């Protein structure tokens, strides 16, 4: 497999009021190969979301480099990186425009990365495709195609966010605890949908989760973070040998707080 993402010496330091340095990321080295689906575990403050923020450019790093598809994107603005990277957040409100309809949100996602012009939106032309996409999810989203995204349930809105993030086949998909704000039943359905999309489109993905079972069931690689460092990196064969009991024991040793 060829390397898609290479993170080298990634460091993020914040100086507190006592003039003490806090290493949010501490020299992280990480390579993600094309087609890998990596689940990321770690307690609060481990540096998981900061790692994602550093990859997307939404936070400025102290030192290190980020390479994506052989491009050094370390100094690229977040907007430029978004043409290659899609992200779904924990909060369902963050991935959609609440006053725009479901169809308008999907059209916005379809046109992502294209040069902005004064041409017609062609919303009607695309609506049939959008309804078909929403119908495949199975949670009634297609019935809300002309409703504002702000009127959707949490599960429907997060499903919409996922559709938007994967519509144009990004080079890298980042899932930042995207099921955490949902009830268990809805979370399970969204996770199954997520896996289906990733497998069908053969996407390269990193997924932060607090659900240890999801970390074992989904993906072909598992990493654990603590104190801004990667403390464990398991390939597919190693991950398949790992049981929930093993993972719980590991978290007890690392003094982390897991979720089952």
Centroid of chain to Cα 91: 12
Between 255 and 145, the more confident residue is 145
Give the mean pLDDT of 230-245: 93
Q: Are residues 182 and 259 in the same domain?
A: yes
Same structural domain for residues 148 and 38?
no
- How many domains in the chain? 2
130 and 107 part of one domain: yes
Burial class (CB in 10 A: 0-12, 13-18, 19+), 65: middle
Q: Give the residue, 259 or 98, on which the prediction is more confident.
A: 98
Q: Write out pLDDT tens, residues 121-130.
A: 678 888 999 9
Domain membership of residue 89 (yes or no) is no
Find out whether 64 and 9 touch, Cβ atoms under 8 Å. yes
Among 52-56, 86-90, 192-196, 243-247, where is mean pLDDT lowest?
Answer: 243-247
Same domain, 247 and 257: yes
pLDDT tens, residue by residue, 51-92: 999 999 999 999 999 999 999 999 999 999 999 999 999 988
Same domain membership, residue 152 and residue 189: no
Q: Residue 226 sits in a domain of what CATH number?
A: 3.40.50.300
Q: Is 90 a member of any domain?
A: no
CA distance 175 to 52: 9
Looking at the fold, whether 80 and 174 belong to one and the same domain comes out as yes
SS3 content of the chain, % helix, strand, coil (to 5): 40, 25, 35
* Contact indicator for 31, 3 with CB cutoff of 8 Å: yes
List Cα–Cα distances, 10 to 29, 30, 44, 63, 128, in angstroms.
7, 9, 19, 6, 44
Q: Which residue has the higher pLDDT, 75 or 95?
A: 75
Task: Assess whether 199 and 73 both reside in one domain.
Answer: yes
pTM value is 0.90
Query: Do 130 and 259 share a domain, yes or no?
Result: no
* 224-254 exposure pattern, b = at least 16 Cβ within 10 A, e = fewer: bbbebbbebbbeeeebeeeeeeebeebbeeb
DSSP string, 198-221: HHHHT--EEEE-SBHHHHHHS-SE
127 lies in the same domain as 242: no
In a domain, 182, yes or no: yes
Strand partners, 12: 25
- In the chain, the percentage of residues whose pLDDT exceeds 70 is 92
Q: Does one domain contain both 260 and 174?
A: yes
| Residues 178 and 236 placed together within one structural domain of the fold | yes
Running DSSP on this structure, what letter comes out for residue 125? H
As a whole number, mean pLDDT of residues 206-216 equals 93
User: Are the CB atoms for 164 and 106 separated by under 8 Å?
Assistant: yes
Structural domain range at position 138 = 95-113+121-168
């Amino acid at each position: 497999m060829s390397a898609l993402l290479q993170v080298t010496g990634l460091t993020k330091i914040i100086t507190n009021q006592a003039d003490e340095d806090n290493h949010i990321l501490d020299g992280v080295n990480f390579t993600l190969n094309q087609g890998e689906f990596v689940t990321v575990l770690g307690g609060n403050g481990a540096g998981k979301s900061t790692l994602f923020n550093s990859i997307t450019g939404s936070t400025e790093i102290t030192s290190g480099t980020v390479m994506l598809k052989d491009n050094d994107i370390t100094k690229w603005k977040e907007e430029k990186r978004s043409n290659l990277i899609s992200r779904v957040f924990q909060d369902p409100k963050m991935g959609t425009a609440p006053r725009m309809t479901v169809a308008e949100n999907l059209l916005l996602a379809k046109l992502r990365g294209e040069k902005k012009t004064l041409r017609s939106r062609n919303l009607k032309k695309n609506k049939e495709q959008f309804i078909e996409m929403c119908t495949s999810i199975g949670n009634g989203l297609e019935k809300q195609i002309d409703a504002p995204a702000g009127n959707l349930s949490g599960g429907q809105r997060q499903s919409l966010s996922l559709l938007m993030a994967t519509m144009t086949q990004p080079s890298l998909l980042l899932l930042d605890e995207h099921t955490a704000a949902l009830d268990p039943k809805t979370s399970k359905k969204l996770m199954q949908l997520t896996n289906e999309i990733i497998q069908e489109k053969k996407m390269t993905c990193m997924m932060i989760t607090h659900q240890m079972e999801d970390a074992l069931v989904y993906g072909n690689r598992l990493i654990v973070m603590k104190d801004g460092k990667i403390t464990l990196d398991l390939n597919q064969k190693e991950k398949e040998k790992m049981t929930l009991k093993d993972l719980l024991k590991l978290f007890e040793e690392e003094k982390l707080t897991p979720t089952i």
